[in-house]
Amino acid sequence: MADASPQTASQLRQHIIFLGPPGAGKGTQAARLSAYLGIPCISTGEMLREAITRKTPLGRKAEPIMAQGGLVPDDLLVAMIEERIREKDCEKGCILDGFPRTLPQAQSLERLVGNGLPNLVVFDMEVPRDELMRRLSGRQRHDDRGPAVHRRLAEYDERTVPLIDYFRSRARFHRVDGFRDVEEVQGELRSLLSQR
Ligand code: ADP
């Protein structure tokens, strides 16, 4: 074949999504994988916390919701991700940590990545609930304490868990045991990615 057709070029893009409850280790694994693959890691939680620090209009809206452990409205998240994904550093793809978290967000993603969900890799990190509580209580983040933790886990069960079935049938889906050593989990992720 001569030059890469637009379709071939888009297939070279790699989009990776991390699903899993708060405390499962998504952020840690996503950051390591980002360094290894040389594609950016986009954490919606971090972007929102930055917006709060900078007191942007988005930050002002998100702050009280996040403090209570709720989910920030879909339209705000989709607009934020859309803008970020269009940046030059995402042209070879990106790793998404914390997005999508709801069905409408997942549906928007197909449009945003533009190369179809079958090219997407989804890692669902699973960790037993008592271990999650232990991990979260050891972090110092302010939504890791009190009723906000329970609300976040409840939101996860209610609104994010349905994405497991959604992606299982539409993307390359892998369930990963997150109750293991960080390096061991990372090794499994890399080996799953190499099995194309
Ligand atoms: P964790 O995965 O440990 O709960 P994050 O840093 O990913 O933490 O997210 C923190 C908070 O940011 C969430 O509890 C939620 O309020 C908000 N948030 C992050 N991503 C999204 C999203 N995709 N949709 C709605 N709210 C979000």
pLDDT at 177 over 90: yes
Quote the pTM value: 0.91
Bridge partners (DSSP) of residue 107 are none
Q: Average of pLDDT values for 76-92?
A: 95
Instruction: Give the confidence band of 113 by pLDDT, cuts at 50, 70, 90.
Output: confident
Kindly give the pairing relationship between strand 14-19 and strand 172-177: unpaired
Write out pLDDT tens, residues 123-172: 999 999 999 999 998 888 888 888 999 999 999 999 999 999 999 998 99
Nearest CA to ligand 1 atom 19: 45
pLDDT at 190 over 60: yes
pLDDT at 119 over 90: no
- The response to whether residue 18 sits with its C-beta less than 6 Å from ligand 1 reads no
pLDDT at 46 over 70: yes
Write out pLDDT tens, residues 2-39: 444 444 444 568 899 999 999 999 999 999 999 999 99
Q: Name the residue with tokens 């952020």.
A: 27
What does the DSSP assignment read for 103-171?
A: HHHHHHHHHHH-S-GGGEEEEEEE--HHHHHHHHHHS--GGGSTHHHHHHHHHIIIIITHHHHHHHTTS
Residue 6: the pLDDT is 45
Closest C-alpha to 31, from 45, 49, 51, 52? 45
- The two structure tokens encoding residue 67: 């403090």
Residue 111: the pLDDT is 85
- The two structure tokens encoding residue 179: 């109750």
Q: Which of 109, 152, 159, 161 to mutate to test the pocket of ligand 1 (most atoms within 8 A of CB)?
A: 152
- The response to whether residue 20 sits with its C-beta less than 6 Å from ligand 1 reads no
Residue 11: the pLDDT is 52
Which is the closest atom of ligand 1 to the Cα of 70?
16
The more confident residue out of 186 and 8 is 186
